[in-house]
Amino acid sequence: MPTDTVTVVVPTYNERENLPDIIPAVIEHGYRLLIVDDNSPDGTGEIADALAEASPSVDVLHRPAKEGLGRAYSAGFDLCLERGSDIVVEMDADFSHDPADLPRLVEAIRGGADLAIGSRYVPGGATPDWPLPRRIISRGGNLYARLMLGVAIKDATAGFRAFRSSALSALPYREAKASGYAFQVEMAWRSHQQGLAVVETPITFRDRTRGTSKMGLPIVVEAMWLVTLWGLGRLWRALPFRPNAG
Q: What is the pLDDT of residue 200?
A: 98
Q: What is the pLDDT of residue 42?
A: 94
The answer to whether 142 and 155 are in contact (CB under 8 A) is yes
Give me the domain span that covers residue 16. 3-238
Residue among 141, 177, 178, 184 at smallest CA distance from 162: 184
Domain count, the chain: 1
The answer to whether 222 and 141 are in contact (CB under 8 A) is no
The alpha carbon of residue 64 and the mean position of all alpha carbons in its chain are separated, in whole angstroms, by 21
Q: Which residues of 118-146 are buried (b: 16+ CB within 10 A; e: fewer)?
A: bbbbbeebebeebeeeeeeebeebbebbb
Crossing angle of the two packed helices 44-53 and 19-27, in degrees rounded to 10 = 40
Strand partners, 83: none
- Asked, for residue 243, whether it belongs to a domain, the answer is no
- Asked, for residue 148, whether it belongs to a domain, the answer is yes
- Asked, for residue 123, whether it belongs to a domain, the answer is yes
Q: How far is the C-alpha of 115 from the C-alpha of 113, rounded, in Å?
A: 5
Residues of the chain falling short of pLDDT 50: 1-2, 245-246
Q: What is the pLDDT of residue 1?
A: 39
Say what the pTM is.
Answer: 0.90
Q: How far is the C-alpha of 50 from the C-alpha of 48, rounded, in Å?
A: 5
Q: What is the pLDDT of residue 223?
A: 75
